[in-house]
Amino acid sequence: MSSVSSSAYPDTKEPAAERTPRPEWPLWEIFIRGQHGLNHRHVGSLHASDAQMAISNARDVYTRRNEGVSIWAVRSADIVASAPSEKGPLFDPADSKVYRHPTFFDIPEEVGHM
C-alpha cells in the first residue's frame, strides 16, 4: 500500500514573500492530449520562466510534429507522488506512466530550484 508523500524538499521551499528573479528557469512537466486522444499523457519536461511560457515552449518542443492539441504544464516541484512501499526496492510501479518526481536525495543549495 502506498502513502502520499509531501514535497521532496520541505526545507528548500521559498518563503512566499521572497520573489526575486532566480537565474534558472524552473522545471515543468508537460502533458499532451492529441487530436483524437482521450487523456493527457506525460511526454516529458522542459524549462520555462512561468506557466504560459511552459505551454508556449511545449508547443515547440513536444508538438512540432503535430503530436498534440491540448497541453498541460505543471511545475515539477508541485507534483505530489506516491512513495515506494515500506518494503523498499521491491516496489514496482503498476502504471508505466509514473510521474518523474524529484528524488529524495539531498540537493546542494547552489544547484538552485528543482
Binding site for other proteins (CB under 8 A): 14, 16, 19-25, 27, 44-53, 56-57, 59-61, 64, 81, 83-84, 88-93, 96, 98, 100-107, 110-114
**How far apart are alpha carbons 85 and 3 in whole angstroms?**
8
**How far apart are alpha carbons 64 and 51 in whole angstroms?**
19
Give the nearest distance from C-beta 28 to other proteins in angstroms: 10
**How far apart are alpha carbons 82 and 54 in whole angstroms?**
25
CB-wise, 37 or 44, nearer to other proteins? Answer: 44
Give the nearest distance from C-beta 37 to other proteins in angstroms: 17
For 46, the grid coordinates are: 522542459
Give the nearest distance from C-beta 105 to other proteins in angstroms: 5
Give the nearest distance from C-beta 36 to other proteins in angstroms: 18
For 51, the grid coordinates are: 506557466
**How far apart are alpha carbons 88 and 65 in whole angstroms?**
40
